[in-house]
Amino acid sequence: MFRLKLDKLSLENVLKFFIAAFLFLLPWQTVYIFREVFLAGTKIEYWTLNFYGTEILLWLIVILFMVWYWKKFRSQILDFRFHVTKDRVFVFSALLFTFYFLLSTLWSADKSLALQQSVRVMEAMLLFFILFLGPLKVKEAIKYLLLGSLVPAVLGIGQFLLQATFAFKWLGLAKHVSSEPGTSVIVGESIGRWLRAYGPFAHPNIFGGYIIIVLTLASVHLKRFKIVAVTNYLLLITALFFTFSRSALMVFLIGFFILLLFYLLSKPPQHFVSAPPSEGGDKRGYLFLFLIPYSLFLIILFSPLVQTRVLGNSSHEVASVTERVSGYGEALQIFKTSPWFGVGAGNYTLASYNLNPDLEAWQYQPVHNVGLLLLVELGTVGVLLLLFVFFSFIRFFVGVIKSKGVGVLSLVGLGLLLTAYCLLLLFDHYLYTSYVGLALSGIYWGMLSRDLHS
């Protein structure tokens, strides 16, 4: 039975509670759709206007955060004096980039789509600053993010093993049938059609990216975060494997071996496993010794599916790769129509339709590369502003790390965390085109930045 003590019902504790609830509930895609567009009877997802249930919670958090921040730092805000500092340059660059998104609605063909995308980029920025500057500690934030991922992981594992999903609109779950076109499956002459794990998300790749971000953040705090158990990793890695997301699995393998390398560099080889975890020993050695053979077991057990997915030797996989490659050429064609300011936020697929109006509805998809997608939607000016944000971010946090006297290993670590995220951007688009992807981006960098700064 839960008891709420009145003396603890402060604004700060309420804000912490709502942030924790948001992190826990983020995977569930309950959504209200207020505009649908169909082409030849088929719905085009990227022209849909909607509002997610967790967005309501996020805007409540934004309001509470603004009140809390004003009350806590009112004297510093009122005593503001203009000085050009690294942190202020970074904040200015982020605000300018967000404003440019909103400005792009003026020249977008579909202004409603542009406004929706701009608001969601703004939400991601706000989420970043809430986690970076807010009252919830990183360790607590990771705890709720990790706990919130466990039921989706079990759901994804069940979907793959049973080869079936079910619909439940109040949780945002849709039914996916492996025999229907458009469903994400692994297809081969010898293996038939295998449904990939969706979890509670709209696509297995989004599910895979979500798990990667949760695992990365949890791994950063693995040594200090006592409730992280091998069972949690077992569930998440199994669910990740069953998504068969090539980009997510590649980032996982790279990140896993990087984490192993850092562990070996920080400890003598003979102490790979020190004291037992119950005696305060480092848990990472036990984790590696358990997960390496388990991962090999999954690969061997499902080797026909792994071979088909990795080698791409079926007609279905070849077509998938061909479509992605052809998308790059299409993106460059669209870019040439508006090279300086772009076609507008969220308007890529509409521009694709205007370029080739005779395609099937499912063929109108964003290019699977966020950098190229941003170049098309925001133009050269928008990409230059994004680079301004990126370099001001790096300049600020490298300065923070150096001021603390942290070694080269930590600087390399920051670079590797950035590289892992950029690999996801390089091979897919959901971290920008979807609400949950943008929220995950804000969460990832907000938590890592808070950890570096604290």
Structure confidence at residue 199 (pLDDT): 95
User: pLDDT, tens digit, for every residue of 260-300?
Assistant: 676 666 654 333 333 444 444 455 556 666 777 888 899 99
Residue 50: inside a domain? no
Distance separating alpha carbons of residues 306 and 300, to the nearest angstrom = 9
Residue 117: inside a domain? no
User: pLDDT, tens digit, for every residue of 241-256?
Assistant: 999 998 898 888 887 7
Residue 14: inside a domain? no
User: pLDDT, tens digit, for every residue of 67-79?
Assistant: 999 998 887 777 7
Domains of the chain: total: 1
Q: How would DSSP label each residue in 188-228?
A: ETTTEEEEPP-TTSSSHHHHHHHHHHHHHHHHHTTTT-TT-
Q: How many Å separate Cα 185 from the centre of its chain?
A: 22
Residue 63: inside a domain? no
Structure confidence at residue 251 (pLDDT): 86
Residue 245: inside a domain? yes
Residue 290: inside a domain? yes
Residue 238: inside a domain? yes
Query: Which residue(s) pair with 42 in the sheet?
Result: 39
The parts of the chain modelled with pLDDT lower than 50 are: 1-7, 224-227, 268-281
Structure tokens at 90: 């970074």
Distance separating alpha carbons of residues 241 and 144, to the nearest angstrom = 23
Distance separating alpha carbons of residues 213 and 262, to the nearest angstrom = 19
User: pLDDT, tens digit, for every residue of 317-341?
Assistant: 677 777 788 889 999 999 999 999 9
Nearest CA among 255, 238, 41 for reference residue 157 = 238
Count of CB atoms within 10 A of residue 320's CB? 17
Distance separating alpha carbons of residues 222 and 209, to the nearest angstrom = 19
Residue 382: inside a domain? no
Range of the domain at 220: 136-313
What's the pTM value of the predicted model, to 2 decimals? Answer: 0.91
